[in-house]
Amino acid sequence: MWTSWWLWALVATCAGQTFREQAETIMRAMPVIDGHNDLPWQLLTKFNNQLQEKRANLSTLAGTHTNIPKLRAGFVGGQFWSAYVPCDTQDKDAVKRTLEQIDVIHRMCQAYPETFMCVTSSEGIEQAFREGKVASLVGVEGGHSIDSSLGVLRALYQLGMRYLTLTHSCNTPWADNWLVDTGHDEAESQGLSEFGKKVVREMNRLGIMIDLAHTSVATMRAALELSSAPVIFSHSSAYQLCPHKRNVPNDVLQLVKDTGSLVMVNFYTDYVSCSSQAKLTEVADHLDHIRKVAGAQAVGFGGDYDGVSRLPAGLEDVSKYPDLVAELLQRGWTEEEVKGALAKNLLRVFKAVEKVSNLTATPEEEPIALNKLKGSCRTQYGYSAAPSLSHSPGALLASLAPLLLGLHLM
């Protein structure tokens, strides 16, 4: 009996090695494009974005999920780096802070040209693959980063932003976030407001991918129904397996399938197992579930490395992607399905977004209504001269009330 158990263990070990070797062979030809990595946030909080500081050397960087040797070991060929700033910057310095995070991503490419290639197109990703570099793209995490401005949206596009997460964990004046579904936040836009729909249409026109991670289910549905191009969830998992409101429910997965969209699975344990501990195999369960409901073309990887505090055993850092791919192969995923999850599905969506874009079309111009904006430091230039953008009668009456009361008392 002992001999039988030993032989079974030996066979299992050999099989695991075979799947791992097969994973590496596939990934040499088709490296992973990950949808979301928060290394830029770590560079801000640890070094105030000073890349020349000795401890900030990305070849030796310690205490993070990501550095250059780990990226190489993980066969990472494309990365959407998150230009993230917290919700407490909303109505304050969100735009400035976002510009600084985009800047540090650009400086990463400048400082390590042998490793990173900043690109802004699907063709650029494929060129980076051919050169053996990590295609580096900007994803802006949170609609508050545009400060409810179509002009800022367009400017960030010019600076390389190729996806915008419509909300982070807070409402914007034009879109609702996932905390609405928990009851923590109140719905303000019932998904997308009229201005929110303008944002989506302008993103389509420019060729910016719409990212629905962090949004409420109503926002997910509204964007999926409105967008003329496929959308992404850059770092979300399956609600059916872990009923956390950050995850994607089955009815939305059906819309993902119908629209040719993409869910890039998050590795954060709280979204994988709904607890503080998880295993690599449970992440594979989420990938399996999305493949089953939405199709193999709807699956990708969005590890959320360096943006989370807990990760599954076996997926401790960005070097571990081959182990997850080996698990998928062991479960019977075909080589083509694996290549889709690694990169082809994202490239398909990106190309569809690029095809829909039309930079010669007339831009959306009408600003958000002034009474939708908050922040005591705001100026009001332009609004008083534009009749269609003036205060509503109720807001106007409220603003005149002190004056009218003063006249009465006189």
Q: Alpha-carbon distance 301 to 262, whole Å?
A: 10
Active site residue 304: yes
DSSP single-letter state for residue 234? T
Catalytic position from the list 176, 181, 202, 235:
235
Per-residue pLDDT for 397 more than 80? no
CB 271 within 8 A of CB 237: yes
Residue 406: the pLDDT is 47
Average pLDDT over every residue of 139-155: 98
Taking the domains of the chain in order of start, what are their residue ranges?
31-359
Active site residue 36: yes
Catalytic position from the list 34, 141, 147, 282:
141
Helix (H) or strand (E) holding 27: helix 2-29
Q: Alpha-carbon distance 181 to 276, whole Å?
A: 22
β-partners of residue 82 are 139
Cα distances (angstroms) measured from residue 202 to each of 64, 151, 192, 228: 36, 10, 14, 11
Per-residue pLDDT for 195 more than 90? yes
| 289: nearest Cα among 342, 345, 239, 231 | 239
Residue 390: the pLDDT is 45
Average pLDDT over every residue of 291-295: 98
* Torsion angles phi and psi, residue 121, rounded to 5: -150, 165
Per-residue pLDDT for 230 more than 80? yes
Per-residue pLDDT for 21 more than 90? yes
Cα distances (angstroms) measured from residue 364 to each of 85, 94, 176, 200, 407: 25, 22, 21, 10, 42
pLDDT tens digits, 317-339: 999 999 999 999 999 999 999 99
Average pLDDT over every residue of 169-198: 98
DSSP single-letter state for residue 383? T
Catalytic position from the list 65, 214, 286, 289:
214
* Torsion angles phi and psi, residue 77, rounded to 5: -110, -10
Catalytic position from the list 36, 65, 144, 289:
36
The CATH number corresponding to 31-359 among 2.40.37.10, 3.20.20.140, 3.90.1300.10, 3.90.226.10 equals: 3.20.20.140
| 391: nearest Cα among 365, 371, 367, 363 | 371
Active site residue 106: no
Per-residue pLDDT for 407 more than 80? no
Per-residue pLDDT for 180 more than 80? yes
Active site residue 93: no
**Token pair 């900030």 is at which residue?**
56
| 25: nearest Cα among 348, 372, 335, 400 | 335
User: 409 versus 33: which is more confidently predicted?
Assistant: 33
Helix (H) or strand (E) holding 322: helix 321-330
User: 303 versus 1: which is more confidently predicted?
Assistant: 303
The token duo for 322 is 């081959």
| 375: nearest Cα among 204, 149, 201 | 149
Averaged pLDDT of the chain: 92
- CA distance between the termini of the chain: 102
Residue 361: the pLDDT is 97
* Torsion angles phi and psi, residue 92, rounded to 5: -125, -105
pLDDT above 70 covers a percentage of the chain that reads 90
Handedness of CA 63, 67, 71, 73 (dihedral sign): negative
pLDDT tens digits, 245-280: 999 999 999 999 999 999 999 999 999 999 999 999
Angle at alpha carbon of residue 30, lines to 273 and 115, rounded to 5°: 95
Handedness of CA 144, 146, 150, 153 (dihedral sign): negative
Q: Alpha-carbon distance 289 to 67, whole Å?
A: 31
The token duo for 367 is 């600003």
Give the amino acid at 135. A
Residue 166: the pLDDT is 99
Helix, strand, coil percent content, the chain, rounded in steps of 5? 50, 15, 35
Per-residue pLDDT for 100 more than 60? yes
Sorted by sequence, the CB contacts under 8 Å of residue 322 that are 6+ apart come out as: 20, 23, 24, 27, 74, 75
Q: Alpha-carbon distance 312 to 279, whole Å?
A: 5
Residue 281: the pLDDT is 98
Active site residue 168: yes
β-partners of residue 313 are 279
pLDDT tens digits, 338-392: 999 999 999 999 999 999 999 999 999 999 999 999 988 899 999 976 555 544 4
Residue 9: the pLDDT is 39
Residue 341: the pLDDT is 98
Give the residue ranges of DSSP H helices in 145-232. Answer: 150-158, 194-206, 217-226
Active site residue 288: no
Catalytic position from the list 181, 285, 288, 304:
304
Catalytic position from the list 65, 144, 168, 244:
168
Residue 154: the pLDDT is 98
pLDDT above 90 covers a percentage of the chain that reads 88
Q: Alpha-carbon distance 211 to 224, whole Å?
A: 10
Catalytic position from the list 38, 147, 181, 317:
38
Active site residue 244: no
CB 265 within 8 A of CB 236: yes
